[in-house]
Structure 1
Amino acid sequence: MDETIIQPAVHSAVGGIALLVALVTTVLTWLGARRGTFGKAQAAALITLQVVLMLQAAVGIKLLDQGMGVIQKYVHYLGGLGSVGLLMLFYWLPKRSEADTANKAAWLTTASLLFVVMTFFIGQMYVKGQLSG
């Protein structure tokens, strides 16, 4: 694994996928909240988003191991932990009713999306700065 070199473009691509999956998940959870239901589509979207965020974190950790992006690591740590932490919080909160579960999913995925957006665009600014400077 140490001999494998990952290009920063891979991290940007997975970040774009994470951003897209977070947006789709947020839309699906809000549609469920409007109906007052938390169904299989919302559950699958939440799981997919968590897996994509873990993949993004793994690629980011490999880049840090290669010595890339050290300057902005704290922003990425906070953004990554925030987005995953909010999704984990959903599973820890008590489930009072299906409508309550749907509302919690919608609000927590929205907050997670904000962390994903923040981290993605800060990362993109860093990459552009590295390429032009």
Structure 2
Amino acid sequence: MDEFIIQPALHSAVGGITLLTALVTTVLTWVAFRKNTMTKTTYAALIALQVVLMLQAAIGIKLLDQGMGVIQKYVHYLGGLGSVGLLMLFFWLPRRSEASQARNAAWLTTASLVFIAMTFFIGQVFVKSQLNG
């Protein structure tokens, strides 16, 4: 695994996919909140977002292992752990009703989206500053 080199552009691309997945998931959870019920599509989107976040984290860990991005690692740790933690919290909360579950999903995915967007845009600013000098 040490001989396998990952380019930072891959991390940026998967970050964009992660941001898009988070946005779609947030929209789906708000639709579920308005309808007071969670659908299989909403659950699938929540699962897909968590999988994409895990993939993004694995790529980021490999880049850190290669010595890249050490300066901004705390922003990524906070952003990554915050976004995943909020999504995990949804599944830990008690299920009182479909309406409360949909409300929790909407608010927690929105908060997770904020963490993901923050991490993505701070990372993009860092990459651009590295390329410019």
Partner letter of residue 67 of structure 2?
G
TM-score by length of 2: 0.99
Q: How many residues align?
A: 133
Q: Which residue of 2 aligns with 1:7?
A: 7
Partner letter of residue 63 of structure 2?
L
Q: Which residue of 2 aligns with 1:49?
A: 49
Q: Which residue of 2 aligns with 1:119?
A: 119
Structure 2 unaligned blocks of 5 or more: none
Separation of aligned partners in 2, 1:23 and 1:58: 21
Deviation at 1:39, TM superposition (A): 1.1
TM-score by length of 1: 0.99
Partner letter of residue 86 of structure 1?
L
Separation of aligned partners in 1, 2:101 and 2:80: 23
Structure 1 unaligned blocks of 5 or more: none
Q: Cα deviation per residue 1:85-113 (whole Å; 9 max; x = unaligned)?
A: 00000011111000100000000000000
Separation of aligned partners in 1, 2:122 and 2:3: 28
Identity across aligned pairs (percent)? Answer: 78
Separation of aligned partners in 1, 2:120 and 2:61: 15
Secondary structure (helix, strand or coil) at the match of 2:111 reads helix
Q: Which residue of 2 aligns with 1:16?
A: 16
Secondary structure (helix, strand or coil) at the match of 2:57 reads helix
Q: Which aligned segments of 4 or more residues in structure 1 are displaced greater than 2 angstroms? A: none
Separation of aligned partners in 2, 1:131 and 1:61: 21
Q: Which residue of 2 aligns with 1:59?
A: 59
Partner letter of residue 100 of structure 2?
D
Q: Which residue of 2 aligns with 1:32?
A: 32
